[in-house]
Chain A
Amino acid sequence: MKSVVKQEVLALNGDEAVAFAAKQSDVDVVAAYPITPQTIIVERFSEYVANGEVETEFVCTESEHSALTACLAASVTGARAFTASASAGLALMHEMLFVTSGCRAPVVMAIANRALSAPLNIHGDHSDTMTERDSGWIQIYVENAQEAYDSVIQAFKIAENTDVLLPVIVGLDGFTLSHTLENVHVLSDDAVKRFVGTRKFINVTNHEGRTVPFKLDPDNPTSMGPIALPNYYFEFKRQQEEAMKNALKVIQDVNKEYAEISGRSYGDGLVDAYYVEDAEVAIVCLGSTAGTVKAVVDELRAEGVKAGLLRIRTFRPLPVERIVDTLKNAKAVAVMDRSMSFGGNGGPVFHEVRHALYDADKHPYIVNYIYGLGGRDTSPMQIRKIYEDLQKILRIKRVETRVQYLGLRE
Chain B
Amino acid sequence: MTAKEKSWKEISPAGVCWKSSTQFLTGDWKTYKPVRDLEKCTRCLLCVLFCPDGAIHWKPEKGDIEFDYNFCKGCGICANECPAKAIEMKLE
Q: Does B58 contact A (CB under 8 A)?
A: no
Question: 20 other contacts beyond A225-B15, A227-B21, A239-B13, with CB at 8 A cut-off?
Answer: A102-B15, A104-B13, A202-B13, A208-B18, A214-B12, A214-B14, A214-B16, A223-B21, A225-B14, A226-B20, A226-B21, A230-B26, A231-B5, A231-B24, A232-B11, A232-B15, A235-B8, A235-B11, A238-B8, A239-B11
Closest beta carbon of chain B to A92's beta carbon, Å: 23
**A208-233 vs B, Cβ < 8 Å mask (1 yes, 0 no):** 11000010000000111111111110
Chain A residues with a Cβ under 8 A of chain B: 102-104, 165, 202, 204-209, 214, 222-232, 234-236, 238-239, 242-243
Given A165-B13, A207-B18, A224-B16, verify A239-B25 contact (CB < 8 Å): no
Q: In the complex the two chains form, is A236's CB within 8 Å of B8's CB?
A: yes
**A236 CA / B20 CA spacing, docked (Å):** 15
Q: In the complex the two chains form, is B11's CB within 8 Å of A231's CB?
A: no
Q: In the complex the two chains form, is A207's CB within 8 Å of B19's CB?
A: yes
**B71-90 vs A, Cβ < 8 Å mask (1 yes, 0 no):** 00000000000000000000
Question: Could you list 25 A-B pairs, sorted by A, with CB under 8 Å?
Answer: A104-B14, A206-B16, A207-B19, A208-B18, A209-B18, A209-B19, A222-B16, A225-B15, A226-B15, A226-B20, A227-B15, A227-B21, A230-B29, A231-B5, A231-B24, A231-B27, A232-B11, A232-B15, A232-B24, A235-B7, A235-B11, A236-B14, A236-B15, A242-B8, A243-B13
Contact size range, B: 20 to 34
Beta-carbon nearest neighbor of A223 in chain B? B20
Number of A-B contacts (CB under 8 A): 81
A interface, over-half SS: loop
